[in-house]
Structures are given as C-alpha cells and as structure tokens.
Amino acid sequence: MSGVRVLVGTRKGAFVLTSDGKRAKWDVSGPHFAGWELYHLKGSPADPNRLYASQTSGWFGQIIQRSDDGGKTWHQPGTPPGEPEPGPGAMPKGDSNKFVYDTSEKTGKPLTTHQFFDGKQHPWEFKRVWHLEPSLTDPDTVYAGIEDAALFRSTDGGKSWQELAGLRGHGTGPQWQPGAGGMCLHTIVLDPGNPQRIFVAISAAGAFRSDDAGKTWRPINRGLKSQFIPDPDAEVGHCVHRIALHPSRPNVLFMQKHWDVMRTDNAGDSWTEVSGNLPTDFGFVIDVHAHEPETVYVVPIKSDGEHFPLEGKLRVYRSRTGGNEWEALTKGLPQSDCYVNVLRDAMAVDSLDKCGIYFGTTGGQVYASADAGDNWAPIVRDLPAVLSVEVQTLP
C-alpha cells in the first residue's frame, strides 16, 4: 500500500511524519538536528530516499544535510558518517556548507552591492539557505535559494555549490532590497515540461524566469501592483511570497503576493488578480491540488501588520475555478482564539487518489486533510514553530 512521508522543518529541529495511504495514523520521528533552525527539507522526485535539508543557526551558520535512506540517517555531503578525516586525494570536505557569490569576470556583471533598508548600496552577504529544490530527474542535482538573494546549484549531491550568477547579474539586482524577513530567494519552481525553464521568487524583488536552465533571467512581474513601493507597477520591488503550479499546465502559475492572490496563464508574462471573495488576500502559502489544475489553496492572514488568521479562525480557502471564487474549509480547524501564522514554505500536497493537503503553523501544529481539504485533523500539535512542510508520496 502506498504511503506518505511529511518532512517538517521547525525553529528547533526537523521531524519526519509517516503514514500509510489512509493518512489516519502517523509515526513521528525527530527532532533531527535538535536545537537548530531547519528552514527547509525536500526529497528528490527522482529518488524518494534522497532528502536534502537546510540546517542553520545564527551562531554557527549554514549546514547542508543529506539523507540517502529517507530520513533515517543524515550526513553532510562529502563527509560520510563516521569518517571525519579526509582521505588522501579526497575532495575537500566542508565545501557542502560553502556558498560563495560568483564575482568572476565571465559572468559579465559581477555584483558587489544591492539596495539596503537605508537606501544605500550594501554588500551581498550570505546568511542562510531558505529553500532547497531537488531536480525533477537527477537526485544529485539540487538548487538552493539563499539570503542575500541568489540561486545556487549543486550537481554532486550537495558536496559543492555554484551560483547561477545570471540572476543577480541580469540588471535589476542593484535595485533589490530586503523585506522584513531579509532579502531571500525563497521559491524555486522547476518546469516539469521544459527542463530549460526555472521560476524563482525573491522578497522583496519579485518573480523571475529563466528559459535557458538558469543562465539568463528576466523579471516577470507585469500586472503586479504593490502599494508599498513608490511606483506600484514597477518592474521589480514586489514582495512575492510564494508561487505554485500544476505539473500538467506549467504555463499557469498561482502566486500569493504580500497582498493579492495572482494568476498567470503565460508563464509570468502577465498576471491578473484572482483574490475574488477572499476575506483578506494577505498570506504566505499557496498550492495546487495534485489532480485538479484549477483547484487552488491559500490560508488568508489578516494583514502584514497582524500575522494571524482573521477573527481568530484558522481557515484554508479553496478555489475550484482557478481563483476568484473561494470557499472556506474549516472542519477540524480551530474556529476561535487561533492566532498562529502559516509561513510561505509550510504547505504541500500529496498525489494519492484523494489528494492530501498539509500545512504547518507557527504554533507547532501540522494539519492534514486526506480529502482535498474537506476535513482536517492535526498530525502533531506541539512542535516548535513550523517553518516548512513538504510531502513525499511513496510507492
């Protein structure tokens, strides 16, 4: 019988939640990397036992972890467990944690600064990995979105990382500036129909697309309107929170922006607002049903000043029409006195026959619905604040 594995990153460690296809009873393992912030964990679509994790700390910096057995054991790539000493002629160890901005001449425009909060130019400084996106076809290839915003790629299973410098260097980089959470590249979407196409999103710069496997990039923000920047229609400066697509229609993207839920039908060339009847269109997460490309999920949050659900009611909203018309999903979710947040990487879907929907909260709950959102139940209630949720559907 098939099953699911839910990978949960929290402020104080990682947890792996597993269940069979009924998704009624769960095994919980963890905390892995106890005491560390786990911004994101994700499994390879090409090898479900291959997992990558971003382990980070304000004290000790960035660590990349890898599992080759579905999360039972972990190691830093290039540093196998029990082998701390590098052998003769071995690849230098410790490079798996090294993210160095590309300032080589061959990139054409080596950037050294971006705009800071005070309007002055500020050096790019690596802080952490926000998001890891494994290749759809190669378990050893994985992309990393980092703060300060840049895109890196590893083709050796996370042992070493190289920047795809064309993103920072395409021209608008010096105009990017941090949002309240830092200037982070938090979303990486790989086009399942076109291996040359990659989408990324940066706070607070906007969305960008490459059509040549990450070599060159351009902003795709036409149609976005952000009242918090001097020119609401500017090419960059938008605080995109999350982008999602359905694999069968990779030209259709859904976006949760700071404010506004948006949709494009032409791979980002232009966007239209589909917030419709949402009670508030601020939020962080957005995702698409595994089998219904027009069924979309968001969790509305009251406002950018009040990061909790409206009226203390935790409600997932579902649109079956690709936006504009939304229904509240409440069964099993707290409908009073609930003041948690749901962060941008903390929603995912499985691909079982009845699509499962999952999300985690800053209050430490991970909720699951085994029937596309009609009914919800907590898998766990008392984890540290949840930063990310990913799901693997297992054979």
Partner 1 sequence: MIRVVLPPHLRGLARISGEVQLEIAGQPTVRAVVDALEAQFPMLQGTIRDHVTQERRPFLRFFACEEDLSHDSPDAPLPDAVVSGKEPLLIVGAIAGG
How many CB atoms neighbour CB 108 within 10 A?
10
Q: Smallest distance from the beta carbon of 74 to partner 1, in angstroms? A: 11
Give the residue with the Cβ less far from partner 1, 55 or 141.
55
Pull the structure tokens for residue 69: 């057995």
Give the residue with the Cβ less far from partner 1, 60 or 116.
60
Q: Smallest distance from the beta carbon of 84 to partner 1, in angstroms? A: 5
Give the residue with the Cβ less far from partner 1, 36 or 317.
36
Give the residue with the Cβ less far from partner 1, 96 or 264.
96
Give the residue with the Cβ less far from partner 1, 144 or 274.
144
Q: Smallest distance from the beta carbon of 59 to partner 1, in angstroms? A: 4
Are the beta carbons of 134 and 44 closer than 8 angstroms?
yes
Q: Smallest distance from the beta carbon of 270 to partner 1, in angstroms? A: 40
**DSSP 3-state helix, strand, coil percentages of the chain (rounded to 5)?**
5, 40, 55
Give the residue with the Cβ less far from partner 1, 85 or 231.
85
Q: Smallest distance from the beta carbon of 58 to partner 1, in angstroms? A: 6
Measuring CA to CA, which residue among 159, 142, 131, 133 is closest to residue 39?
131
Tell me the HSE value of 97 on the side-chain side, using a 13 A CA sphere: 15
The C-alpha atoms of residue 285 and residue 293 are separated, in whole angstroms, by 17
Give the residue with the Cβ less far from partner 1, 334 or 384.
384
The C-alpha atoms of residue 135 and residue 234 are separated, in whole angstroms, by 32
Provide the strand spans (E) within 116-260.
121-123, 128-134, 142-147, 150-154, 162-163, 184-190, 198-203, 206-210, 218-219, 240-245, 253-257
Q: Which residues of the shown chain bind partner 1 in the complex (CB under 8 A)?
A: 11, 35-36, 57-63, 76, 79, 81-82, 84-86, 92-95, 97-100, 126
The CA-atom distances, in angstroms, between 154 and each of 75, 158, 169, 176, 247 are: 16, 5, 19, 25, 23
The SS3 call for residue 168 is helix
**Which residues, at least 6 apart from 59, have a Cβ–Cβ distance to it below 8 Å?**
none
The C-alpha atoms of residue 369 and residue 357 are separated, in whole angstroms, by 5
Q: Smallest distance from the beta carbon of 97 to partner 1, in angstroms? A: 5
The CA-atom distances, in angstroms, between 44 and each of 76, 119, 134, 350, 390 are: 16, 40, 5, 14, 11
Give the residue with the Cβ less far from partner 1, 11 or 291.
11
Q: Smallest distance from the beta carbon of 248 to partner 1, in angstroms? A: 41
Pull the structure tokens for residue 36: 């560390």
Q: Smallest distance from the beta carbon of 184 to partner 1, in angstroms? A: 19
Q: Smallest distance from the beta carbon of 155 to partner 1, in angstroms? A: 20
Give the residue with the Cβ less far from partner 1, 66 or 246.
66
Q: Produce one character per residue of 134-154: b if its CB has 16 or more CB atoms within 10 Å, e if not.
A: bbeeebbbbbbbbbbbbbbbb
